[in-house]
Amino acid sequence: MEWRRERDLFLTAVMFLTRIPVPRSLPYDADLLNGSARYFPLVGLLVGVVGAVVYGVSVYLWSPALAVLLSMAVTILLTGAFHEDGLADTCDGMGGGRDRDRVLAIMKDSRVGTYGLVGLGLVLGGKFLALESLDTAGLVIPALLVGHMWSRLVSVSYLLDLPYLREDGKSKPLATQMNRGSHRFALISAAILLLVLTPWQSACVLLALLFFRYWYAYYLKRRLGGYTGDTLGAAQQFSELLIYLVLAAVTGG
């Protein structure tokens, strides 16, 4: 039945993006994984809700800075640092590789190099400082919800118009296809969440994300000719940081 397939698609998205347990009876195949991409923004919202709850409870017990730090730590644990790992690998590859083949080879290396450590540290530090600055405006919780959901929408959007670079050797399973109907579903589900922001805040966030989305697509085409799972993880992390920075800027944080 259709509802059962949609349930399996959502649970597959949960299994792929988080460490939340799913039923062992959940079937697995490449088509199911590709179809689950439509639910990635909703899984992002789920992660954002967990982060918001942790922040909301912690801020009454400790300082806003510590509450933000705990919220970030919990969301990283919840996702198994899935996107952060992609960010570090992408920074290592793009920073250390002179040509396409070398970039891809570096990204496949499980070790984290200097570029990866610096890039990951700067992005995590930027997210922490931006979120902390939003506390005085009461925008940390809306920022977490929008940040986690919309950053995953940006990430899966590259499945529409960029080719997947099939690497040799072992690689993690990855959703590599997405039709426009699934993207519309993901876009509509994410658009509803913008109601937690003011129209001005929403407009600024959308403009910034559109600029980044198409600039990053151009960059990936020029450097690699397409995308990998690591570059999608980096897109999610950069988009999330960008959302927090924009909100901090428009609110004077």
Q: What pLDDT is attached to residue 167?
A: 58
Q: What pLDDT is attached to residue 175?
A: 63
Q: How far apart are CA 89 and CA 235, in angstroms?
A: 12
Residue with the two structure tokens 């890039």: 119
pLDDT in tens, 55-66: 999 999 999 999
The residue type at 172: K
State the CB neighbour count (10 A cutoff) for residue 125: 11
What mean pLDDT is reported for the chain?
Answer: 90
pTM: 0.94
Q: How far apart are CA 69 and CA 54, in angstroms?
A: 10
Residue 192 dihedral angles phi and psi, to the nearest 5°: -60, -35
Q: Which region among 168-172, 197-201, 230-234 has the lowest average model confidence (pLDDT)?
A: 168-172
CA 164-168-170 angle, to 5 degrees, is 100
pLDDT in tens, 130-158: 999 999 889 999 999 999 999 999 999 99
